[in-house]
Amino acid sequence: MADDGMLLNFELPEDAFATKKTFKGGNWKDRLTARKSAEYGREKQRERATFGKTISQYGDVKSDEEELILPEGRPSKRPRIAETGDSRPSIRPTKQKSAHRGDELPKTNTGEVISSLFTSNPMSTSEPKPVAVEDEAPVEPSNAPLNDELATFTNLGLSSTLASHLLNKMGLKAPTAIQRKAVQQLCAANTDAFIQAETGSGKTLAYLLPIVQRITQLSQQMKDAGQKFTRESGLFAIVLAPTRELSKQISTVLEGLLSCCHWIVGGIVIGGEKKQSEKARLRKGVNILVATPGRLADHFNNTEVLDVSKVRWLVLDEGDRLVELGFEQDIQKIVSVLNLRGRKAQESPIPGLPERRTTVLCSATIKADVEQLRSIALKDPVSIAVDAREAAEAGADPSIEQAFSAPAQLKQGYAVVPAKQRLVTLVAALKQAFKRKGSVMKCIVFISCADSVDYHFEVLTRLGSSKAGAGQDNDDDRSGVQRVPVAKLSKSDKIPQGHTISDTRTQGLATSFSNSDDPVQLFRLHGSLQQATRTSTLKAFTKCTEPAVLICTDVASRGLDLPNVDLVIEYDAPFSKDDHLHRVGRTARAGKDGRAMIFLMPGSEEGYVEVLKEGKPRNLTRHDADELLKKGFAPATGVVTDSSWEQLATNWQLDVERWAAEHPRHLEQARRAYQSHIRAYATHVAAERSIFDMKQMHLGHLAKAFGLRDKPGSIRVPGQRPGKDAGAKNKAVRRNEAVRKVSGAKRPRGDGDMDVPDATDEHEARRKMHAKMKAMSGASEFNLG
């Protein structure tokens, strides 16, 4: 107290005696920015202290269920005054996320983002409906062989030798409905025909049996006329297929049929094989030829020995696919050559040879696009269809697009999965499918592009990371992965620019969802593989006696008859509804049961359910991501809680992300798969583009499904689109060349004009440049522009 009675109260700020940070060096702008930043920090610190006193004045502020959380290092919001007249501030509580849900983690020092699987996911637009109780009454398969006693191959007009061979050697007791109608029609008349039936109903035999029967009769007539039928008698039938795999399969079925009539010789010419060996086979002579359109058109131009003047049967298998793949011009050329050479007078007429050619177009889906092939190759065709009897009998136009349908015994479902949970949900679904030994024998997973197939094959067959992460032991099996240390790959192991994986390995143990007690083999297949590799992979998958999964593109969706396929998973949605029909048609074949499931993301993609309903499935079951994750990652023993399976799923996802980040080769592989997937996503048909809308896709969440922690805008893979980045690349080359000149660094041996140096080399060159400039002029680094 002073002498005059006045009370002096000097209040000093809290940081009055704190050591103030000073900034030395640099120009005046740098020092000004540092000073303003320090002042801003002190002001925010005072605001936090003031707000803390306000809260302490009113005691603990709590809501009914949650309490206020004020994280340190983050400025709190200004308290909101309630409008009810109460002078007490109304504090909005912040909801505290449960630890097992995996809160959003901060960015790493390298700029990577580690997000949680179970937060910020979009909600489904449709409310989950109660699962309908499945009708336990047996459903009669729609593509099974007929049970009618009169429906035998002998009654269809086939010879007793051929019918006996089908029964005793090929194990076919009775024909299917489409085989009965097709064989009766094509054996009796020389008319063009459409063949339309469900997948797995035996369309291959539906057109091969009449051809073999007619050529057998032709050989008998030549024998009666004193002529000998040999492989040199001429080429009488050609079968065109869109893919090499389907051509191989047709050729295999044809060889099985011709084993009872060895004097008829079949052959095959497809892309990827040696032309010289094909020319040698054609020079020796074939009677029935299976081919892809491109290779056959090439032989028409370059193989003079190929005589097609006696061709009287032409089959276009999977006709709609032939148009989609751009074979229209090749087919038009083939038909024109057949018409031109067929008019030539034959030096030695063959008795019983039809005067006109019969052309058959067959597919599971016949739509308006096939009208192009009809105008090119067919003349007054008849329709042969089982699922449209009334239309066929009434003489309806077969070119009109008809609603597609799947086999009646096929059980279909769809899974609504957020973008960043796609990968871990796929693993969970496969875990559940192969959990019980013998429940599922073989499964096919369809993916949109080859790069994505390669990446997912590596993910599902990986042996484990070189390190499980900070503070984790390699033997820790919390994510369910068999951990075997793998040496870290060097930069020389990176994928060549502009190419997919050069590794020829197409088979491995699916370590991500199997174990040593119940091993599951994993195969990969796509069109970028060598033809010999594709053929051997399909053969190995077909003959595999263990549970197996084939991960592939649509190259395996058409016509392939792969035995014992119980489950089909469409991980990426098909590009059209017809592709969906062919994909799910790989199971539930020839009257057997099968299951199919497609992955859809919440939002606009759920509109694809209405497209699925157009096929009138027996039952269309909905699955949620949490349901599949809980079934796949739930512990085998103990009490199953939300935290247990969610933690296991999170650990598995983080293990994949670490595995990709540790290996440069796999990181680049993941980025390529991500970019290829986005490009493929934009190629859906126009009618379905509103459902698969790129603008509504969260690219950051999608990147997590590929094990990436990068921002979508920073994902760049060299060699994908050289034209777009050529300018930026040339600029980088010029900049680095100038750095080399100043620093005196030598150009690396073998460095081309378009090669960008490694980041480490560029940093070292810049360091030398700064040191040299400082020594020459004595200037500070802050003065260097």
**Given phi > 0 = left and psi -120 to 50 = alpha, else beta, which region is 200?**
left
Amino acid identity at 701: H
CB under 8 Å to 120, separation ≥6 — which residues? 104, 701
The tokens describing 154, both together, are 């002998």
For position 400, what pLDDT does the model report?
A: 39
Q: Would you give the distance in Å from CA 626 to the centre of its chain?
A: 22
Distance CA 534, CA 245 (A): 8
Delimit the domains of the chain by residue range. 28-98, 190-393, 410-464+510-714, 731-783
> Which CATH architecture group holds 190-393?
3-Layer(aba) Sandwich (3.40)
Q: Sort 447 into a burial class: Cβ within 10 Å, 0-12 / 13-18 / 19+.
A: buried
Strands 507-509 and 521-525: antiparallel
- CA–CA dist 233, 349 (Å, integer): 11
Element (H, E) at 679: helix 664-681
Q: Is 423 exposed, middle or buried, given 0-12, 13-18 or 19+ CB atoms closer than 10 A?
A: buried
Phi, psi of 89 (to 5 degrees): -65, 145
Contact 114, 709 (CB under 8 A): yes
Distance CA 492, CA 555 (A): 31
Dist CA 541 CA 537 (whole Å):
6
For the chain, the residue count is 785
Q: What pLDDT score was predicted for residue 175?
A: 87
Contact 430, 510 (CB under 8 A): yes
Q: Which of 721, 710, 668 is CA-nearest to residue 451?
A: 668
DSSP secondary structure letters along 546-591: S-EEEEE-GGGSSS---TTEEEEEESS--SSHHHHHHHHTTSS-TT
Token pair 């969260």 in the structure block, residue:
698
Which secondary structure element, helix H or strand E, spans residue 238, and what is its range? strand 237-240
> Which residues in 583-595 are b (16+ Cβ under 10 Å) and which e?
bbbbbbbbbbebb
Tally of CB atoms within 10 A around 529: 22
Helical pair 450-461 and 422-433, crossing angle rounded to 10 deg:
60
Tokens of 564: 């014992």
pTM for this predicted structure: 0.67
Single-letter code of the amino acid located at 585: G
Fold of 410-464+510-714: Rossmann fold (3.40.50)
Minimal CA–CA distance to 145: which of 223, 76, 202? Answer: 202
Rounded CA-CA distance 146/152 in Å is 9
Q: How far out from the chain centre does Cα 203 lie?
A: 27
The answer to whether the CB of 551 falls within 8 A of the CB of 454 is: no
Secondary structure of residue 204 in the 3-state scheme? helix
SS3 528: coil
Helix, strand counts (H, E) of the chain: 22, 17
Q: What is the rounded distance in angstroms from the CA atom of residue 574 to the CA atom of residue 478?
A: 34
Q: What are the per-10-residue average pLDDT scores of the chain (785 residues)?
A: 58 56 67 82 75 50 40 47 42 41 50 81 70 52 58 79 88 85 89 82 89 94 89 94 90 93 94 88 94 93 90 90 84 90 66 89 68 77 69 40 64 94 96 84 94 95 54 38 37 41 77 86 92 90 92 85 88 89 82 88 92 82 92 75 83 94 92 94 90 92 94 77 42 50 44 34 52 48 31
pLDDT (0 to 100) of residue 387: 54
Tokens of 117: 């699987």
CA 118 – CA 102 distance, rounded (Å): 7
Q: What is the DSSP letter of 214?
A: H
In whole angstroms, how far apart are CA 371 and each of 37, 180, 368, 401, 434? 72, 26, 6, 10, 44
Distance CA 145, CA 175 (A): 5
In 308-432, the DSSP E strands lie at 313-317, 358-363, 382-385, 410-416
> CA–CA separation, 460 vs 513, rounded Å?
8
Torsion, CA 715, CA 509, CA 492, CA 534, rounded to 10:
-80
Secondary structure of 148-195 as H, E, C letters: CCCCCCHHHCCCHHHHHHHHHCCCCCCCCHHHHHHHHHHHHCCCCEEE
With b meaning 16 or more CB within 10 Å and e meaning fewer, what string describes 266-292? Answer: bbbbbeeeeeeebbeebeebbbbbbbb
Question: Which amino acid belongs to residue 695?
Answer: K
Residue bearing tokens 């696009």: 369
Q: pLDDT value at position 390?
A: 39
- The CA distance from 99 to 562, in Å, is 46
Tokens 């032409």 map to which residue? 314
Same fold, 190-393 and 410-464+510-714: yes
Compute the distance between CA of residue 672 and CA of residue 669 in angstroms, rounded to an integer: 5
Distance between CA 479 and CA 626 in Å, rounded? 17
Distance CA 467, CA 662 (A): 9
Task: Reduce the DSSP state of residue 267 to 3 states and report it.
Answer: strand
**Please, what's the b/e burial string for 26-43 (b: 16 or more CB within 10 A of its CB; e: otherwise)?**
eeeeeeeeeeeeeeeeee
Distance separating the N- and C-terminal Cα atoms of the chain: 61
